[in-house]
Every structure is written in structure tokens, then in C-alpha cells.
Structure 1
Amino acid sequence: MNIDIKEIMEKVVNQIKDDPAMLAKFKKDPVSVVEKLVGIDLPDDQLEKVADLVKAKIDVDKVGDVLEGLGGLFGKK
């Protein structure tokens, strides 16, 4: 199963930006919020990477730099 990490990240970012309570929860426990919003059972290391992307997008919009370092995550190159 190929998962589009950028699509997942954008979905989570949009949901968090639109909900101040969810943003507060994300700041306290980003991995569990990502897991809840994604709705797909992913390994913890992949959830952590998605959470890092979301943080980058929300905080400084540095997703391009973070994505570049992820390489072939989720079978994409």
C-alpha cells in the first residue's frame, strides 16, 4: 500500500489549523494527534515523521527541507 505522506501531512495541518483545541493537543502530544487524525494504522516511527512534517509546516513552513531528508519513506522516491 502506497501512502502519500504529503497528502497526509496537508490533511493533518488543515485540521489542526482550523481547531485551536486540536492545535493545543498537538503541541503537547503530536504523535497521538497525528495517529487520531490520520485514521490509518502506521508504525510509530512513521507517525513521528509525519508529526515532524506537520510541526515544520505549522511553525516555519519548512516542509520542503524536511521532505528532502525523508527520501523513500512510504515507498516513494
Structure 2
Amino acid sequence: MNIDIKDIMENVVDKIKDDPAMLAKFKKDPVAVVEKLVGVDLPNDQLEKVADLVKAKIDLDKVGDVLEGLGGLFGKK
């Protein structure tokens, strides 16, 4: 069985971003939320990798939103 961690990560990010309650749970216990959302029994090291990637993706998206908001300060919209 070949597992594409990037695809799993993107799927988890989409689910978490669409559900504020799930995002709150993810912040408290990311590995458990990833395991629940993936629905496949993966080794803990792979779940931790996915959780780390999801955290990074969510943080990058937040940075992008902040930067877009700052664009108006410099005459850009």
C-alpha cells in the first residue's frame, strides 16, 4: 500500500479549515484529530508527520491572510 502523505495532509487541512470545532480539537490533540479524519490506521510516526504538515499549512494560510490585509496599507488592494 502506497500512502501519499501530501494528499492526506491536504484533505485534513480542508476538513479542519471548514470546521472551527475541529480546528479547536486539532490544536489540543493534532495526532488524534488526524487519525480520526484520515480513517486509516497509520503508524504514529506517519500521523505525527501529517499533523506537523497540517500545522504548517494552516499557519502559512494565516500568514497569507494577514499579508493580504496589510496590502491596503501600502496602496495595494
Fold match by TM threshold 0.5 = yes
2:4 and 2:23 map into 1 onto residues whose CA distance is 22
SS in 2 for 1:12: helix
1:29 and 1:5 map into 2 onto residues whose CA distance is 19
Give matches, 1:14-53, under 5 Å: 14-53=14-53
| Deviation per residue, 1:12-49 (Å, 9 max, x gap) | 00000000000000000000000000001001111000
Higher helix share: 2
The higher-RCO structure (CA 8 Å, 6+ apart) is 1
- TM normalised by structure 2 equals 0.77
* Alignment root-mean-square deviation, CA: 0.8
Q: Which runs of 5 or more residues in structure 1 are unaligned? A: 62-77
**Runs of 4 or more consecutive aligned structure 1 residues displaced over 3 Å after TM superposition:** none
- TM normalised by structure 1 equals 0.77
Deviation at 1:60, TM superposition (A): 1.9
